[in-house]
Amino acid sequence: PAIYRLFRILVSHKIDVLHINDLWWAPIGLAASRLAGIPCITHVRADYTPRHIRHYRLKACQICIPVSKALGQSLERSGVDPARIRLLYSGIDLSRIAENHDSAAIKAQYQIDPGRIVIGSVGNLQAVKGYEFLIRAIAHIKTALPSILCVIVGGGDRPYAKTLYALVRELDVSDHVVFAGFCDDVYPLLSVMDVFVLASISEGFGIALLEAMALNKPVVATSVGGIPEVVIHGETGLLVNEKDSLALARAISHLLANREQAAAMGKRGRERVEACFSIKASIARLESLYEEVLGQTPMKTGVWTDHI
């Protein structure tokens, strides 16, 4: 029934191309687009196993759009024709970011003591985000830096959240870790962070990194998935191996102990976002892909990683 409902929508509205943004809809979308006789393209924002690739029938899409080269390579290894892969980095709208935030007011709103050193992370509370390793890193740091405070922004998986709450109690870091919950506008909280951390075990791209870098924040992140395409190690931030809380602690401590270097990394991070990850560039690239799949421009051939 869902296939035919979508088919009727495609036909009645004279849709030219179907763009699937959530892989859960890929089998339905592909079937409906075939019935309607229109092309279908699919965004791929996370790393999927070959079994998932088969289940979601990605090999049947006219174009697969990974958000990083790492994801594109994963698709290719899983059997997706390289000629159907088009890289499209995610972008953020820099015009939506306030130039100045009232740090004192924001800290007061979230009951953060003005004297605390604030690090933080943004993302859904899911095991793939590796929050337990960040919490363990705080346990390593707190003795040398008793004023450290880690603010975790995001909602999500309640069972996983409960394991994190238990870990905080077990490691005796209740005074050093705050769960801020889901937040519509993350920029105010990002603005009061001294260092942003992304401890993911797997990550397709890492849009939260762009948001932090756009605010000139130095970042520490794990070297997984598309993250090394966002963060240049030693220039815009520091990269460490995943599942290594001690390495996270050392990287965070290094940036906090070397504020001038951290500030320079933050500045270069902002410049990188402006140069490579603006929403305008992403929109223009997507428009060109629509034109390509509709036959208004020739289908490109060659090495897909060149098509940025």
Q: Give yes or no for a contact between 179 and 204, defined as CB atoms under 8 angstroms apart.
A: no
Q: Give yes or no for a contact between 43 and 65, defined as CB atoms under 8 angstroms apart.
A: yes
Pick the closest to residue 172 from 142, 196, 200, 151 (CA basis).
142
Question: What pLDDT was estimated at residue 49?
Answer: 62
Domains and CATH numbers, the chain: 2-91+279-306 (3.40.50.2000), 94-276 (3.40.50.2000)
User: What is the C-alpha separation between 195 and 186, in angstroms, rounded?
Assistant: 15
Question: What pLDDT was estimated at residue 285?
Answer: 93
Is the pLDDT at 301 greater than 80? The verdict is no
Longest dimension (CA), the chain: 65
In three-state secondary structure terms, 212 is helix
Question: What pLDDT was estimated at residue 16?
Answer: 95
Strands across the sheet containing 18-20: 18-20, 40-44, 63-66
Three-state secondary structure string covering 248-294: HHHHHHHHHHCHHHHHHHHHHHHHHHHHHCEHHHHHHHHHHHHHHHC
pLDDT above 90 covers what percent of the chain?
Answer: 79
> What mean pLDDT do residues 9-23 have?
93
User: What is the C-alpha separation between 172 and 170, in angstroms, rounded?
Assistant: 5
User: 58-67, 148-157, 220-229: which range is least confident on average?
Assistant: 58-67
In three-state secondary structure terms, 233 is strand
User: 22-26, 28-32, 39-43, 298-302: which range is least confident on average?
Assistant: 298-302
Q: Which residue has the higher pLDDT, 300 or 144?
A: 144
Mean pLDDT across the chain: 91
The predicted-structure confidence for 64-114, as pLDDT tens digits, reads as follows 999 999 999 988 888 889 999 999 999 999 998 877 889 999 999 999 999
Question: What pLDDT was estimated at residue 54?
Answer: 63
User: What is the C-alpha separation between 103 and 121, in angstroms, rounded?
Assistant: 17
CA dihedral 160, 226, 141, 159 (to 10 degrees): 0
How buried is 151 (Cβ within 10 angstroms: 0-12 exposed, 13-18 middle, 19+ buried)?
buried
Question: What pLDDT was estimated at residue 299?
Answer: 52
